[in-house]
Amino acid sequence: MTGIAVIGVGMGEPEHLTGQAVAALNSVDVFFALDKGSAADELFHLRHDLCRRVITSHPYRFVDVEDPRRDRGAADYGRAVADWIAARATALGEAIRRELGPGERGGLLAWGDPAFYDSTLRVLDALLDPVDVEVIPGLSSIQMLAAAHRISLTRVGRPVQVTTGRRLAACGFPSDCDDVVVMLDPECSFRDVDHVGVTIYWGAYLGSEHQILISGELDAVADEIVAARAEAKRRRGWVMDTYLLRRSS
Ligand SMILES: C[S@@+](CC[C@H](N)C(=O)[O-])C[C@H]1O[C@@H](n2cnc3c(N)ncnc32)[C@H](O)[C@@H]1O
């Protein structure tokens, strides 16, 4: 089997993997790792560890692909991301050409599920030499959040919006949607939305032994979340958190 498998690995624990993901991991000869700063070191080790624990029958190797720097201060955010995707595609394409032998299968591990705020598929789309891509879904932090709080994200016949902290800060709580999942929010942008009638379900390090959960009326728990997040970051050097804002209707 050749081509590239993009495998959603949930939050990095073997029990988060689907049977399909375990089979795909066991079919890969070369894993390409595009990593980037902050939590990268720990996530890098988690991925290696995951492979060691679930790949039982197949020799494999990891190839680190140097991740081009992204211009985070750029005035044109969209342009900066597009340039970064193109540079990543160049670096990954070179690694694939150099490392993947005839008849070998490549793999890329996507944190959570590749469908949510993950650039892997866009990078593969931008390769100059197209490759066959198979996507194996994984458990997203969004699902881990809902399960941990024992809630459904969708209320009867209602939509849910998935967005970023940056967008929440820029546009506020959407007027046409009462349930909003927010990812990528180091600034705790929930502090600045209109708190009236809003409940927050927050989770950090979801699915891991370090998981932290806080929920309640936004007014009542916003400061507690900010403090818990800061303390978690101080302790471990990085934190990943996701939350649902739910407005009463
Ligand atoms: C680049 S996105 C990747 C999302 C990932 N593809 C997914 O399906 O969860 C990174 C964001 O995912 C969320 N996230 C990832 N892992 C998490 C975890 N273990 N606990 C809480 N949030 C997490 C955070 O909002 C983080 O800023």
Q: How does the average pLDDT of the chain come out, rounded?
A: 93
What range does the domain containing 176 cover?
142-247
Predicted confidence (pLDDT) per residue in 192-207, tens digit: 999 999 999 999 999 9
Q: Is the CB of 183 under 6 A from ligand 1?
A: yes
CATH number for the domain harbouring residue 194: 3.30.950.10
Picking from 124, 139, 154, the residue at the C-terminal end of a domain is 139
Question: Residues 155, 223: one domain?
Answer: yes
pLDDT of residue 77: 82
Which residue's alpha carbon is nearest to atom 22 within ligand 1?
A: 241
pLDDT digits (tens, 9 = 90+) for 91-102: 999 999 999 999
> Do 49 and 135 belong together in one domain?
yes
Atom of ligand 1 nearest to the CA of 138: 8
Retrieve residue 55's tokens: 């790949």
Q: Is the CB of 244 under 6 A from ligand 1?
A: no
Give the chain's domain count: 2
pLDDT(48) > 80: yes
Question: Of 116, 139, 162, which residue is a domain's last?
Answer: 139
Structural contact between residues 158 and 41, judged by C-beta atoms closer than 8 angstroms: no
Same domain, 176 and 64: no
> Within this chain, do residues 125 and 33 fall inside the same structural domain, yes or no?
yes
Q: Which atom belonging to ligand 1 lies closest to the Cα atom of 208?
A: 19
Dist. CA 183 → ligand 1 center (Å) = 6
The mean per-residue pLDDT over the stretch 5-12 comes to 95
Least confident of 39-48, 99-108, 109-118, 152-161: 39-48
- CATH number of the domain encompassing residue 17: 3.40.1010.10
Higher pLDDT, 243 or 47: 243
65 lines ligand 1 (CB under 6 A): no
Instruction: Say which residues have a Cβ less than 8 Å from residue 57's Cβ, sequence separation at least 6.
Output: 26
Number of Cβ within 10 Å of residue 54's Cβ equals 14
